[in-house]
Structure 1
Amino acid sequence: MKTWASAAFCLYTACASLTGANAQTQPTDTGGLLQSWADSADGTPPSPWRVVGLPGGKVPLLAPDITTLDGQKVLRLRSDKSYGALSHAVPAGSEGRFLQWQWRLDQPLAQADLRSKTGDDAALKVCALFDLPLEKIPFVERNLLRLARRVSAEALPGATLCYVWDNQLPAGTTLNNAYTARVRLRVLNGNSDALGRWVSHKRDLQADFLAAFGNETDTVPPLLAIVTGADADNTGGTSLGFVNRLQLMKQ
């Protein structure tokens, strides 16, 4: 089960090494600013995508892989009492604003409840990490973030916006992460949506960021990374979902 520190770290750690070689790699996918999973030759996500998990190795790592489904190479996310995310750093100065993708949930997490720490798991999530300045963050959370940065030695972002598919809450629900308000959740597909079928989304990250964090700032900070993943470490459940055509677009 997550503590506050490990939960914050696992949600933020996808931002590590943003200034390294991966952040400078230019995707070959001409349709957007993220590397296409269609470029995978061996079932592993192509660079600069990278897998991240909880620190310390105490929770099994969910290993996202590329598989063929409906004639296309897609990302498969299978959780089994595990945690894992796939992260793609966004180059500095990127003008990406619109995030679009398709996802499909085949097996939901029966015990997930995003309103509680014990149920804080998601079978499918797509997140955008933003470099919100410390001075914009409320005092207590600012100091907690400073502490997390010292412990992790990472430049952890000040704001994370996550879109989730949740089988308990209705679509349109918005709420803070159960562990930290540095992460805001928006349910795009909920308990009335059919399983086993593809659903398409296109989101205006700037508009959604201001809707989620507008109580703290009236400007949109730089985008640091795009992350997708799943976790079942709190509920001890299993889930299966797929993500396809995840693209960060300028318009």
Structure 2
Amino acid sequence: MASAAPAYSDEIAPFSAAVNSDGLPPRWEAYLVTRNKRLTHYEQTTDSDGIAVIRATVDESASGIAQKLDIPVYPGTKLSWRWRADAMPTNADIRTKRFDDAPVRIALAFDGDPSKLTVQDHMHRELARMVSGRELPFATLMYTWGDDKFAANEVVRNPYTARIRSIVVERGDDQLGKWQTYSRDIVKDYEKAFGEPPGRLVGIAIMSDGDNTQSKFTAWYGDIHLDTDGIPTTTAAK
């Protein structure tokens, strides 16, 4: 009997929750980049304090885990999380198709007005649906770890589509092997990346990949929290 599709949620499910039958926390599911890629292995484990986290084992692989959401985003909304990476993919460069790998990424998917998309945008969405079984959202904002060729907080366009843009929140090798904690104003970051306020938050994913650079490494992700204490205004997306 086929399982029901995961319902959209109004909160991000914690990685520290008990695992389900798939070995992942409830409401998280595998996210394929393409059907012909080796999959990164994600599993729940514990950190040195005994807190449950997700370990990503990369072996020249590319995939993620994702959760469907349905959350209005208002000014002041903050995303906080922690992650740890033990190595950088060799020669990785998220500006290029050939070397587009990163040790850790958090991707936020947003809804929006499809009439604003270009013909090329629609072509990329259709291609993504064909190769991965999923349609690209209106826009995706990624937080990522890049090497030291990037400036801190630099916005980087995805080499495949302008509807995905990354903000480099960590860079270089200095913090490898250490847990790092972040808090970001996602409305300000989205406006910096795309030049307009965001729509509803409709999904979140984590991804560690080394397929393009043929890299092997391990990374970890702790719970991801969304703080929505901001007051709705006329500038907030409906």
Fold equivalence (TM over 0.5): yes
User: Distance between the aligned counterparts of 2:110 and 2:168, measured in 1?
Assistant: 19
**Runs of 5+ unmatched residues, structure 2:** 230-238
Cα offsets for 1:128-184 (capped at 9, x unmatched): 001122222234323433554577664430210101012343332221011111110
| Partner residue of 1:250 out of 215, 223, 228 | 228
1:248 alignment partner AA: L
Does the 8 Å contact 1:173/1:187 carry over to 2? Answer: yes
Secondary structure in 2 aligned to 1:104? strand
Distance 1:103 1:139, change over 3 A: same
User: Distance between the aligned counterparts of 1:117 and 1:182, measured in 2?
Assistant: 15
Secondary structure in 1 aligned to 2:159? coil
**Runs of 5+ unmatched residues, structure 1:** 1-19, 27-32
User: Distance between the aligned counterparts of 1:203 and 1:128, measured in 2?
Assistant: 12
Please tell me the root mean square deviation across aligned C-alpha atoms, in Å: 2.5
User: Distance between the aligned counterparts of 2:204 and 2:179, measured in 1?
Assistant: 20
| Partner residue of 1:86 out of 59, 65, 89 | 65
TM-score, normalisation: structure 1: 0.79
Does the 8 Å contact 1:102/1:245 carry over to 2? Answer: yes
Q: Which is richer in helix?
A: 1
Q: Percent identity?
A: 29
Partner of 1:73: 52
Does the 8 Å contact 2:53/2:220 carry over to 1? Answer: yes
Does the 8 Å contact 1:109/1:167 carry over to 2? Answer: no
User: Distance between the aligned counterparts of 1:129 and 1:24, measured in 2?
Assistant: 13
Distance 1:242 1:177, change over 3 A: same
Secondary structure in 2 aligned to 1:122? coil
Secondary structure in 2 aligned to 1:229? strand
| 1:5-154 matches, cutoff 5 A | 21-24=5-8, 33-41=11-19, 44-56=23-35, 58-71=36-49, 72-91=51-70, 93=72, 97-146=77-126, 148-149=128-129, 154=134
User: Distance between the aligned counterparts of 1:235 and 1:144, measured in 2?
Assistant: 23
TM-score, normalisation: structure 2: 0.83
2:125 alignment partner AA: L
Q: Given the alignment of the two structures, is residue 205 of structure 1 paired with residue 183 of structure 2, yes or no?
A: no
Secondary structure in 1 aligned to 2:46? strand
Does the 8 Å contact 1:165/1:189 carry over to 2? Answer: yes
Distance 1:113 1:93, change over 3 A: closer
Per-residue deviation, 1:87 = 0.4
